[in-house]
Structure 1
Amino acid sequence: MKFFRSGSLFLTAVLLILGGYAAKAQRLPTHWTKDGYQYYKITDDGIRILDTRDTSKKTLWISKDMLTPQAGAPLNVKRFSVSADGQKLLINTNTKKVWRYDTRGDYWVYDTNTKKLWQLGKNLPESSLMFAKFSPDGNKVAYVSGHNIYVENLADASVKQLTTDGSTRLINGTFDWAYEEEFGCRDGFRWSPDSKSIAYWQIDASKIKSYLMLNTTDSIYPYVVPVEYPVAGQDPSSCKVGVVDISTGKTNWINTPGDAVQHYIPRMEWTLNSNEIILEQLNRAQTESRVFIGNVSNGTTSLIREEKSNAWIDGKERWNNGDPAGWEWVNNGKEFLWVSEKDGWKHISRVTREGKETLVTKGDYDVISINLIDEASGYIYFMASPDNATQKYLYRIKIAGAAKPERVSPADEPGTHSYDISPNGKVALHNFSNSYTPPASEVVSLPEHKHIGGNVITIDKNAKNKTEFFKVKTVDGIEIDGWMKKPTNFDPHKKYPVVFMVYGEPAAQTVTDTWGAGMNRLYVGNMADDGYIYMSVEGRGAPAPKGTAWRKAIYKNIGIINIRDQAMAAKEILKWPFVDSTRIAVHGWSGGGSSTLNLMFQYPDIYKTGIAVAAVGDQLTYDNIYQERYMGVPVDDEGRAAFIKGSPITYAKNLRGNLLYIHGTGDDNVHYKNAEELINELVKYNRQFELMSYPNRTHSISEGEGTGLHLRTLFTRYLKEHCAPGGR
């Protein structure tokens, strides 16, 4: 019930609610040139090379004419990559969505030496190629089509099919719905360093039951849309890793210990040796992590690292902006970096191939993400915020370790920073915003953090009616962060309605010092101008950099602890003299929709009006990877009891206030079944509510002409009718 991250459709909804925009595709990575000072960028006239040392320099590298086939219009470049020698360009175009992202499409190659442009996989179905990438030597391209892996020789355009058993349920080189949604795993194969082999995942989803969605709008007769979807308590897909030899087409399978069904492999890469791969295995409950090195020749594995937790263990996509790819090797491949919470905080360690660990970062703070390993200078750059969990700053620390990291982000720019650092560690594309300063970007030198190009980031010190950040302590002694946007012409002697925006689950934060905090794009107009106090508070379970105990207090208690923290914070806020306790509303989407329902049902004395969108009403209907990660595996009545206890439908009979429920009938993430279970419970106890079903819309409810405006208008009308704006 999260949205995609880093990724997550949750990001779409939070951006929409907080004032951003709903992204339709993955964020494009920055492709740097070999010297690390320049990078490639798609422009209207082709692909240009931009120079960080002189931002006015924008050299046209590949023109649109060069990207125009003999018969046809110029290629619409959606994404691209460059060969290691910088001589060939791989272009992805004509893309189609696979669940969240447009990862299917056509691929073309342009050779800057021969000036030749040609299409790959021409004999395969249109828009069927996925994750095409150059071999390290630049002579071949591998890709997936129809759940099989192919390799194409660029010299003579010969194509070789490396796997032949792929089907809709036996998946080679990519992943099933659950792996993609919950581990961020999409690209499922890796070239060996010597360009002679490809390591790949094989997912066997043949025993996964299909959820049958009904499409009633796209033809005269409705038809069924099946989605393989393992719900909590059901076995996941079987998973294994193989290495196929390019010349022979033979796959050697890696013998990973344990039941292939009762574990996950969310990470796999090559070591720096073309006869070895390294992978992480999680048990089904995701409470045990094991790292193995696998010998390709004989398929044997050796265990080099093991970790167990009383709660869950986050995979790499949780500390790498949603991307689980890559392995952070240092010391010529003798060691790698690992992020763990074993000491109660998220910290970086160095791990040898023999499993010896050395802590690099130490102290009462969390590493949010690793941005760059700069071995030349001996530093690791990472994001953290030791003093304010709503913000993010760049730090660096010696790879050898140090008592205290060095802050790189400027002290006079409070807010949220992000960096795309050049591989040479000398320059970075720096992005910044806070709640009163719109997003801005510049080029800076590192480690000095001196402005060297682009716009100069300037704090908007004259912003009016700034979003206020505050802390509130609950009756349970829990200190909770929050933000609040007061009415434009706020009068402290009047009482105003409060509208809470909530998420409340481990997938994302809502209380962050970023542009959009205090804004609500689901509202037609301006809430502050209309006289609402708009607010968000964030309790335990949110992935804030506040330590392991904070984040994992929610384990086996989703729907209980997170809901109590929200309600107890609201109870304190209701004591403020300018808050009208008779006009308290709450809204949320996905996991936030679930929280909205639970707040309305469990604490009806506090929340008078709720608008819930695409909510999980019954936790036993949601997918196993997500729900079992945070709630345990419901293998018996005791395990199921926790799921039932935290589910909104358990408390639906307690509804006393005004409830608007919204859901798309084509939601493949949180299925419409949740809406119907909720409806049944509310009807059973004669609890009156309003319902809006959007036919054949997915979890984002973004498809179809007029949908966005209709939803926003509905949201605004209902809020104004049942939680009237203005001071009294």
Structure 2
Amino acid sequence: VGVVPAKGGSTRWFDIPGDPRNNYLVRMEVIPGSEQVMIQQLNRLQNTNTVWLANLENMEVSNILTETDDAFLDVHDTPIWLDDNRNFTWISERDGWRHLYKVSRDGSEITPLTRGAFDVVEVVCIDPASGFVYYIASPLNFTQRYLYRSRLNGKGDAERISPENEEGQHSYQMSNNARWALHTYQSATKPPVISLLDVKKHKVVRVMEANQEIKERFEALGLNPKEFIKVDIGDVVLDAWMIRPPGFNPDQKYPVIFFVYGEPASSTVQDNWAGGDLWHQYLAQQGYVVISVDNRGTAVPRGREWRKSIYRQIGILASLDQAAAARKLLASYSFLDPDRVGIWGWSGGGSMTLNCMFRFPELYKTGIAIAFVSNQKLYDTAYQERYMGLPSGNPEGFKNGSPITHASGLQGKLLLIHGTADDNVHYQSCEMLVDELIRLDKQFDMMAYPMRTHSIRERENTSLHLRRTMARYWNENL
């Protein structure tokens, strides 16, 4: 981080302790009304965040706060300065839940602003005049999102602002004084409705976008809605959803397709309006039951232990959870055909598909893996080391979490799909797995999309061709 005069001139650089090759400077901001900047420095293992105050005049830096974790740390949005810039906000999981704290400028005092057995998903607004912080949380249902507020003095219980009768997901863009907000409300069965809101009364002043036409067109299709269910696999209860075919007959046996992701970057089981659901609804129309399960470690507001349980075992614990959930569901719903179980996913979900197909061949009969990581040593250093540690410190974890290690277990039908210009998961990941499957004399199918990136949607007709390829594969093999 350097300082350049506004009128031009030479750059002066802060001398921040630590080897630049083994540390990340992840956030930097000028502190309002001062000659100081706050710099956050994350070590290579990403389990220590060192906060520095840097003086723009004398270029001195001083450490005011150090956050550590036995696993990894999340870096959150820029802190908000309070009390005439004497204090700033800080998000931490130090008590096992993601909460908001107030930290003094020198780091000597840390006061919790939110408390309880829930995660703060997002800070929406801080209103010092009224003494409240507004934030998104969902203590009772991890698939949903609601607006809450807590007092800036840290006293009292969290107060829910979103109406109790509007189940689903709420998001807010709020004015600085917390009086007005652009409010978006949606659920798995309701497309987003965007309104101008009087926050104090949570009263709609004007509907900006009702999406009524989309709602009517969707309802006219006569599709079965997502059913949100719980799956108890013994040591944890997982959230899941299921879509049944139209004209569903509980006495009939249906093939089932599991849609997976399972990595820390996202979640598939959310009570929101998702365009991708139309693809799964199409599969349901073809006679498949479609299911998705959030395993441990996914980006869900279920506390630190949930999210960090996968540390040093990406691809290992998650695939065990997915397989356990599949077995429990097959045993619980007699209409699911255990001899016709499919699985598919994209990116991390593609890796999950491979791990499940290779590690549990008796369970999964057909899989489609798209844009997958076959060997964790090939992927983005910052991402992989964050969740797995360094390769030198966790060689067995990197090995056992990589699908290519277990390729000899393949027994079912497998379709590999990858874009040759994938700049996220490089094409070599696919080539290495193909080479290994050939060495092992394993039969499989493959579709390479020339000059397509990670999304595989560039150039005319690509998306339609991809979906038709997938649909044909299911119909022929499941």
Match of 2:356 in 1: 599
Match of 2:288 in 1: 532
SS in structure 1 at match of 2:400:
helix
Deviations 1:20-68 (A, max 9, x none): xxxxxxxxxxxxxxxxxxxxxxxxxxxxxxxxxxxxxxxxxxxxxxxxx
Deviations 1:107-154 (A, max 9, x none): xxxxxxxxxxxxxxxxxxxxxxxxxxxxxxxxxxxxxxxxxxxxxxxx
Match of 2:461 in 1: 706
* Structure 1 position 435 matched with structure 2 position 192: no
Stretches of structure 2 lacking an aligned partner (at least 5 in a row) = none
Q: Identify which of 33, 36, 40 aligns with 1:276.
A: 36
Aligned equivalents of 1:617, 1:402: Cα separation in 2: 50
Aligned equivalents of 1:681, 1:403: Cα separation in 2: 59
* Structure 1 position 632 matched with structure 2 position 392: no
Deviation at 1:308, TM superposition (A): 1.1
Q: Identify which of 561, 564, 568 aligns with 2:320.
A: 564
More deviation, 458-467/294-303: 458-467
Deviation at 1:529, TM superposition (A): 2.1
Which structure has the greater CA radius of gyration? 1
User: Partner amino acid for 1:287?
Assistant: N
Deviation at 1:306, TM superposition (A): 0.7
Match of 2:113 in 1: 360
Please list, as runs of the form range in 1=range in 2, the aligned pairs for 1:461-500 lying within 5 A after superposition. 465-475=224-234, 477-500=235-258
Deviations 1:184-203 (A, max 9, x none): xxxxxxxxxxxxxxxxxxxx
Deviations 1:214-247 (A, max 9, x none): xxxxxxxxxxxxxxxxxxxxxxxxxxx0011112
User: Partner amino acid for 2:38?
Assistant: I
Match of 1:419 in 2: 172
SS in structure 2 at match of 1:438:
coil
Q: Identify which of 284, 291, 296 aligns with 2:51.
A: 291
Alpha carbons 1:518, 1:534 under 8 Å: kept: no
Deviation at 1:457, TM superposition (A): 6.8
User: Partner amino acid for 1:465?
Assistant: N
Alpha carbons 2:49, 2:68 under 8 Å: kept: yes
Deviations 1:265-317 (A, max 9, x none): 1100001134210011111000001111001112111111111111000011x
Alpha carbons 1:518, 1:535 under 8 Å: kept: no
Match of 1:13 in 2: none
Match of 2:413 in 1: 658
Aligned equivalents of 1:633, 1:402: Cα separation in 2: 42
Q: Percent identity?
A: 45
Cα RMSD for the two superposed structures = 1.8
Deviations 1:490-543 (A, max 9, x none): 11111111111100000001000012388243x6x8222221111100110001
Alpha carbons 1:511, 1:517 under 8 Å: kept: no
Deviation at 1:706, TM superposition (A): 1.3
Q: TM-score, normalised by structure 2?
A: 0.95
Q: More strand per residue: 1 or 2?
A: 1
Alpha carbons 1:504, 1:538 under 8 Å: kept: yes
Deviation at 1:464, TM superposition (A): 6.1
Distance 1:714 1:593, change over 3 A: same
Q: Identify which of 84, 88, 92 aligns with 1:336.
A: 88
Match of 1:514 in 2: 272
Q: TM-score, normalised by structure 1?
A: 0.63
Distance 1:274 1:403, change over 3 A: closer
User: Partner amino acid for 2:89?
Assistant: L
Deviation at 1:379, TM superposition (A): 1.1
SS in structure 2 at match of 1:721:
helix
* Structure 1 position 247 matched with structure 2 position 7: yes
Aligned equivalents of 1:382, 1:437: Cα separation in 2: 23
User: Partner amino acid for 1:339?
Assistant: I
Alpha carbons 2:28, 2:40 under 8 Å: kept: yes
Aligned equivalents of 1:580, 1:518: Cα separation in 2: 24
Alpha carbons 1:311, 1:555 under 8 Å: kept: yes
Match of 1:410 in 2: 163
Alignment length (residue pairs): 470
Distance 1:486 1:518, change over 3 A: farther
Match of 1:100 in 2: none
Aligned equivalents of 1:424, 1:348: Cα separation in 2: 19
Alpha carbons 2:192, 2:211 under 8 Å: kept: no
Stretches of structure 1 lacking an aligned partner (at least 5 in a row) = 1-240, 317-323, 724-728
Aligned equivalents of 2:230, 2:318: Cα separation in 1: 16
Aligned equivalents of 2:233, 2:34: Cα separation in 1: 56
SS in structure 1 at match of 2:183:
strand
Alpha carbons 1:483, 1:536 under 8 Å: kept: yes
Distance 1:518 1:478, change over 3 A: farther
Please list, as runs of the form range in 1=range in 2, the aligned pairs for 1:119-134 lying within 5 A after superposition. none
Aligned equivalents of 1:467, 1:327: Cα separation in 2: 38
Alpha carbons 2:150, 2:156 under 8 Å: kept: no
SS in structure 1 at match of 2:408:
helix
Match of 1:262 in 2: 22
Aligned equivalents of 1:593, 1:439: Cα separation in 2: 29
Deviations 1:414-439 (A, max 9, x none): 00111111223111111111111122
Alpha carbons 1:291, 1:305 under 8 Å: kept: yes
Match of 1:123 in 2: none
Alpha carbons 1:242, 1:251 under 8 Å: kept: yes
Aligned equivalents of 2:223, 2:477: Cα separation in 1: 29
Aligned equivalents of 1:458, 1:284: Cα separation in 2: 45
Deviation at 1:456, TM superposition (A): 8.7
Deviation at 1:447, TM superposition (A): 2.3
Match of 1:505 in 2: 263
Match of 1:83 in 2: none
Deviation at 1:458, TM superposition (A): 11
Deviation at 1:369, TM superposition (A): 0.6
Alpha carbons 2:191, 2:211 under 8 Å: kept: no
Match of 1:584 in 2: 341
User: Partner amino acid for 1:545?
Assistant: P
The structure showing larger relative contact order (alpha-carbon pairs under 8 Å, at least 6 residues apart) is 1
Aligned equivalents of 1:332, 1:508: Cα separation in 2: 37
Q: Identify which of 134, 140, 143 aligns with 1:387.
A: 140
Aligned equivalents of 2:275, 2:237: Cα separation in 1: 20
Aligned equivalents of 2:240, 2:446: Cα separation in 1: 30
Aligned equivalents of 1:566, 1:538: Cα separation in 2: 8
User: Partner amino acid for 1:529?
Assistant: Q
Please list, as runs of the form range in 1=range in 2, the aligned pairs for 1:14-413 lying within 5 A after superposition. 241-316=1-76, 324=77, 326-355=78-107, 356-413=109-166
